[in-house]
Structure 1
Amino acid sequence: MSKYSDIHPQSRLNRFPFTWFPFNLLRGLILFAMDLFRMLSGQVGRSLRLQLMVTFAFCLAASLIFYSLSSAIFGGIKQEPVIDYESGVQRIDNAAENMARILSDDYHHYNETEKQSPEAQALIEKQREQEFTEQVQRESSSNRYKIMVTDLSGTVIYKSPNTAETSIDIHKTIRSSMDTRRQQNLTRRQEASSLYPVTYKTKPAYLYVSGIPEPNISYKRGESPFPMVGAFILFIVLFYFVTQKKMRYIEELAGGLITIATGNLNSRVPERSDDELGSLAKNMNLMAEKLQLKIEEERRAERLKNELVTNVSHDLRTPLTLIIGYLRLLNDRNYETEQQARTYLSIAYNKSEKLNSLINDLFMYTKLTHQDIPLNKEGIALNDLLEQLLEEFVTPAEEQQVILSRHIPKEKLFVSIDVDQMIRVFENLLGNALKYSPKPGVITVSMIKEQRYGIVRIGNKADELTEQELEQLFERFFRVDASRSSDTGGSGLGLAIAKSIVEAHEGSIGVEQKDGELVFYIRLKLA
């Protein structure tokens, strides 16, 4: 049994943590690569510019790969034979170098610190000359090279059997040798030579080797326009198909824009990406939505204007017709007694007052709607203002058997308001409650503090209203009872004026219905 058999497996892992290090490192690298790929793909997905750059790079890489492969294939098919003499010249140089190495001072290695006897040195020189002679015979017989050893002036002091020259021009030979090697491709058959400085019989000399280089047949890859043309066509085709989806999306956006421009504001373009095109689609939809809302508001304003003209014409015409009728009776003296004439005159006067009140309400509403009336705000305790107003309504309420139930806190709630305008709001709400409450009845007035706002509630028992009627209560000339006119009710502008005044104070006004009670509430910001 192993001596580690009693050790827990996890303990064995902790004992040899280094065995897991390569795997953890590999796992970390893989996770890092995945996170980097997700990050880059996210960046590319949000940028159309990066998408085009990646697409261009991909198409270019594919085209270069195609060009390389097609060049190799077509170049191999269209190979052309080429005769060159470079390898032959190289062989002449190799032969000259081998023979020059024999004549070099360090060819036979020996300890230079040891003094050689004259007999030993003579023996070494003899061996060198013999070996050099054998090498010359081999090269001159097999390769038919001309081999010569000259002194520094160019006079031949040793030559191969197939050589007839007795001297050479050293300067011309060096130039010819350099010109031959300077040529990149030797395709013309011509004599090549190689010249090496050597030591021959203990004297400086030149080794000259020349000959006609042997030809070598090689195959040169042919050239074809197809790889270049094919790579260009492949780039165009790949770029077209890769960008086709984006181009279709752009065309779709253009078509959607044309549809919206023709007036179909209900049309929307799809938002299919997170890049600039997706942002463009989102802005186009937002533009269509705002245009639609603006047009609807303009249509509603036009409709309300027409309704205003119609309602004003009706409400002005009714009292004006009565006034004209009674004045005509008075003018024609079509009455029996002075008492009847005074009655006619009183009715005409009352109708004139009604007409004047309607015109004043209409003028006030128009100015408030266009914010032409400046607000003279001042700080005041909302509690005191309500108490004062309620005291003024006590007597009219008692006459109509209505009880005013107050729930006003003692804590002073200060607001910054135009007192005259806000009194008009509260008087309108209290007047409506008093006018339309059942007799006998109760009107409840309460006030609470809610965070940074003061809220006033005025409620009374009333008939059940529909949701649509509740929403239209603050519209101008709206009356719950359609048969009610300015003779039996108000001008229909009171609640609309109240709403405009409250909103001008950056507050809000609303209505709610609960347990058979209609409650109006006003929310004002505390000072």
Structure 2
Amino acid sequence: MKRIFRLFFKLVGLITHIGEKIKNNIQRSIRIQLFTTFILCALGSFLVSRAVLPLFENINESAIVDYSFSMRVMYFQAQDIAELAIQNNSVDSLRQSIDQENEKMESHQNTLKMIVTDEVGKVLYKTKQVKEEHIDLHEEIRNAMSFTMNQPFEEAPPNMVTSREEFSTLVPLTLQDKKYYFIVSGLPQGEAITSTSEGPIPFFIGVILFILSFFYITKRKMTQIESLAEGVMEIAKGDLAYRIEKKGQDEIALLTDNINQMAEEIMTSIEMERKVEQQKNDLITNVSHDLRTPLTSIMGYLRLLREEKYETKEQYDEYLKIAFSKSEQLKNLIDDLFDYTKLMNDKNTLVRQQVCLNELLDQLMEELVPLAEQKQRLFIKHFPKHRIFVALDSEKMVRVFDNLLINAINYSAGDGKILVSLEEQDDLIRICVANESDAFTVEELDSLFERFYKKDQSRTNVTEGSGLGLAIAKSIVELHGGTIHAKYKNETLYFIISLPFTT
């Protein structure tokens, strides 16, 4: 019993699984949906037209009189009488049948005409209502054969006969070595037959029901298509924020997703183009400002020197020193612009070599110790004991680490501790430079790696930097297939670099 229940539940589960699969296939294909809808509507319309058929049969009812059954009876009666006479090999059987018909006629019953003739057509025996003494056998045979060919009584049922005409059948006999012809004729009795026809009304009901049901079931799909068309029109007018509502899982739903995604990508592309255009304008403005500021100072101090507007040799040296310092700032800015433009070139390539990151970072921090001590900063490192080797362009990556370490020295707050960590995570190398810092908003963190971005937008002091350092660092890291991002947590600013193990 348990086995039977298990088999039953397995069967139910299989049927449910197949039903779910069929349902999913129907939901995902508009072609199958339309085909299924067509079949269901056609089947329902057919069943309804068959169901209402009895209501309209009486409208198309007609009655006819059929004489074929009576003719069939007369035909087989003549055959039976002839067969009995052949079995007895005597004409007496024929005479007895004729006498019986005469008796029926006397009692006013419906009787048949019966005639027995010899081979030349002379009437030998007959019923009382027959007046002929001689029969044209050729004519009788022709009529009997013609009628029998049109009415194949040997096959049931015979063709229906609706006109009442005298029926005649002829049977040739050989009795006691003599040839006879037995002829039976008479008016057949009619049988009323009622017939009905479907008529056009059930058919038209089925057609109308099919059209209404098909349009009703497909109305939702048509509404979805209309909504899709309206959405495309809205997007074409420029409303890229418009989104078409997705319904179902079929091809129309997939098309809806694709159109929404296309609108999203176009809107993103346009916003990106606007952002690039704005960045280009900002680049021109910032470059003009950053180049003009030191250049103005250089020209001012050189004018003082040319016009000898100094009083002592020390003042002369001070003016010359300031002009030279501004020239160096101007050169550094131009170098940064050149490096950034070069890195933005798609044809820029890397010269990779195996580098020990532990030693590279140690060396850079050692070189920056005097600057850090000058500003009362302290490096704290967390490196693994084993050496970590990565294939990278050391010259470019030195610039990235150097930029992050100098920024940490210049902008650290609090106790001035700068944390530098190096660790392995799965298939990545993670380098982190962290220092205490003033608060950063999410928008400021997102903008740190943009060109010429400075947290202080007044830009009054160019010695703070060109604003290209982090943008250059990001380009170099991404060129190595890695990522760099910043986060602010617990009053600490973290710059995190992730590099893949590249061989």
Distance (Å, rounded) in 2 between the aligned partners of 1:245 and 1:330: 86
Match for residue 415 of structure 1? Answer: 390
> Is the 1:315–1:486 Cα contact (8 Å) retained in structure 2?
no
Match for residue 155 of structure 2? Answer: none
Seen in structure 2, the aligned counterparts of structure 1 residues 29 and 503 have a Cα distance that, compared at 3 Å, is: closer
Match for residue 30 of structure 2? Answer: 48
Aligned residue among 420, 438, 456 for 2:431: 456
> Is the 1:56–1:239 Cα contact (8 Å) retained in structure 2?
yes
Post-superposition offset of 1:417: 0.8
Seen in structure 2, the aligned counterparts of structure 1 residues 335 and 216 have a Cα distance that, compared at 3 Å, is: same
Seen in structure 2, the aligned counterparts of structure 1 residues 450 and 66 have a Cα distance that, compared at 3 Å, is: closer
Tell me the secondary structure at the aligned position of residue 324 of structure 2.
Answer: helix
Distance (Å, rounded) in 2 between the aligned partners of 1:222 and 1:423: 99
> Is the 1:508–1:524 Cα contact (8 Å) retained in structure 2?
yes
Tell me the secondary structure at the aligned position of residue 375 of structure 1.
Answer: coil
1:353 maps to 2:324:
no
Seen in structure 2, the aligned counterparts of structure 1 residues 52 and 208 have a Cα distance that, compared at 3 Å, is: farther
Seen in structure 2, the aligned counterparts of structure 1 residues 223 and 352 have a Cα distance that, compared at 3 Å, is: same
> Is the 1:509–1:522 Cα contact (8 Å) retained in structure 2?
yes
Q: Which amino acid aligns with 1:236?
A: I
1:244 maps to 2:219:
yes
Segment of structure 1 superposing worse, 182-191 or 464-473: 182-191
1:189 maps to 2:164:
yes
Tell me the secondary structure at the aligned position of residue 187 of structure 1.
Answer: coil
> Structure 1 stretches of 5 or more lacking a match?
1-13, 106-120
1:310 maps to 2:285:
yes
Post-superposition offset of 1:494: 0.6
Cα distance per residue 1:11-37 (max 9 Å; x no partner):
xxx7xx9xx98x999998877766655
Tell me the secondary structure at the aligned position of residue 488 of structure 1.
Answer: helix
Tell me the secondary structure at the aligned position of residue 503 of structure 1.
Answer: helix
Match for residue 162 of structure 1? Answer: 129
1:254 maps to 2:217:
no
Distance (Å, rounded) in 2 between the aligned partners of 1:145 and 1:300: 115
Written as runs of structure 1 = structure 2, the 5 A alignment for 1:119-518 is 132-133=97-98, 136-137=101-102, 142-149=109-116, 158-163=125-130, 164=132, 165-169=134-138, 171-181=141-151, 184-196=159-171, 200=175, 207-221=182-196, 224-332=199-307, 334-335=309-310, 340-437=315-412, 441-518=416-493
Distance (Å, rounded) in 2 between the aligned partners of 1:80 and 1:489: 111
Cα distance per residue 1:254-305 (max 9 Å; x no partner):
1122222222233222222122222222223322333332233223223323
> Is the 1:197–1:206 Cα contact (8 Å) retained in structure 2?
yes
TM-score by length of 2: 0.83
Match for residue 118 of structure 1? Answer: none
Distance (Å, rounded) in 1 between the aligned partners of 2:103 and 2:273: 113
Post-superposition offset of 1:330: 4.4
Seen in structure 2, the aligned counterparts of structure 1 residues 467 and 270 have a Cα distance that, compared at 3 Å, is: closer
Distance (Å, rounded) in 1 between the aligned partners of 2:12 and 2:492: 70
> Is the 2:85–2:92 Cα contact (8 Å) retained in structure 1?
no
> Is the 1:145–1:209 Cα contact (8 Å) retained in structure 2?
yes
Distance (Å, rounded) in 1 between the aligned partners of 2:27 and 2:50: 31
> Is the 1:382–1:415 Cα contact (8 Å) retained in structure 2?
yes
Distance (Å, rounded) in 1 between the aligned partners of 2:329 and 2:399: 18
Distance (Å, rounded) in 2 between the aligned partners of 1:381 and 1:139: 136
> Is the 1:45–1:274 Cα contact (8 Å) retained in structure 2?
yes
Seen in structure 2, the aligned counterparts of structure 1 residues 386 and 281 have a Cα distance that, compared at 3 Å, is: same
Distance (Å, rounded) in 1 between the aligned partners of 2:412 and 2:255: 57
Distance (Å, rounded) in 2 between the aligned partners of 1:137 and 1:445: 140
Match for residue 59 of structure 2? Answer: 77
Q: How many residues align?
A: 492
Post-superposition offset of 1:357: 1.5
Q: Which amino acid aligns with 2:40?
A: F
> Is the 1:315–1:485 Cα contact (8 Å) retained in structure 2?
no
> Structure 2 stretches of 5 or more lacking a match?
153-157
Post-superposition offset of 1:498: 0.6
Q: Which amino acid aligns with 2:38?
A: F
Post-superposition offset of 1:445: 2.4
> Is the 1:512–1:520 Cα contact (8 Å) retained in structure 2?
yes
Distance (Å, rounded) in 1 between the aligned partners of 2:124 and 2:12: 76
> Is the 1:405–1:445 Cα contact (8 Å) retained in structure 2?
yes
Tell me the secondary structure at the aligned position of residue 165 of structure 2.
Answer: coil
Cα distance per residue 1:104-132 (max 9 Å; x no partner):
64xxxxxxxxxxxxxxx89xx69956764
Written as runs of structure 1 = structure 2, the 5 A alignment for 1:10-89 is 37-68=19-50, 72-89=54-71
Q: Which amino acid aligns with 2:112?
A: Y
Distance (Å, rounded) in 2 between the aligned partners of 1:407 and 1:127: 140
Post-superposition offset of 1:315: 1.6
Seen in structure 2, the aligned counterparts of structure 1 residues 39 and 474 have a Cα distance that, compared at 3 Å, is: closer
> Is the 1:438–1:461 Cα contact (8 Å) retained in structure 2?
yes
Superposition CA RMSD, Å: 3.7
Identity of aligned residues (%): 38
Seen in structure 2, the aligned counterparts of structure 1 residues 213 and 435 have a Cα distance that, compared at 3 Å, is: same
Segment of structure 1 superposing worse, 191-200 or 307-316: 191-200
Distance (Å, rounded) in 2 between the aligned partners of 1:38 and 1:195: 74
Distance (Å, rounded) in 2 between the aligned partners of 1:129 and 1:428: 138
Q: Which amino acid aligns with 2:142?
A: K
Match for residue 5 of structure 1? Answer: none
Q: Which amino acid aligns with 1:420?
A: E
